[in-house]
């Protein structure tokens, strides 16, 4: 999250609004946002609707419907223009995401 926070100006300059989404509670997100000094909103997918809608639900350490680390580029009309999935512990390549955003 800190790496994304540190690149947020680059994304804003490309016209991208960043949102972090996870199955964690809103209260956990508030704590993370404050602790990490995040400058973008964290959204709680408490019931897993987004995880299933984007097709990134999987089992992890015995827990069902955990979100795979992933990134989606969604245009102003709500159309998904790009999707990337990452393995556990793998970080997104923000240069690739930024290039895709600039190409839209």
Q: Distance from CA of residue 28 to its chain's centroid?
A: 16
**Average of per-residue pLDDT values in the chain:** 90
Domain that holds residue 47: 2-98
- Count of domains observed in the chain: 1
Kindly report the pTM of this predicted structure. Answer: 0.80
| Domain-embedded: residue 44 | yes
Asked whether residue 103 is assigned to any structural domain, the reply reads no
Q: Assess whether pLDDT exceeds 90 at residue 54.
A: no
18 falls within a domain? yes
- Inside any domain, residue 104: no
CATH number at residue 60: 3.40.30.10
What does the pLDDT average to over 35-62?
90
pLDDT at residue number 9? 93
Residue 41 lies in a domain: yes
């Amino acid at each position: 999250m800190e790496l994304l926070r540190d690149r947020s100006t680059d994304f804003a300059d490309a016209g991208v609004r960043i949102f972090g989404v996870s199955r964690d509670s809103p209260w956990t997100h508030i704590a993370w946002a404050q602790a990490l000094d995040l400058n973008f909103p964290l959204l709680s997918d408490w019931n897993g609707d987004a995880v299933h809608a984007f097709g990134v639900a999987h089992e992890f350490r015995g827990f069902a419907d955990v979100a795979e680390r992933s990134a989606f580029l969604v245009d102003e009309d709500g159309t998904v223009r790009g999707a990337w999935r990452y393995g556990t512990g793998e970080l997104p390549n923000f240069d690739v995401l930024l290039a895709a955003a600039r190409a839209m």
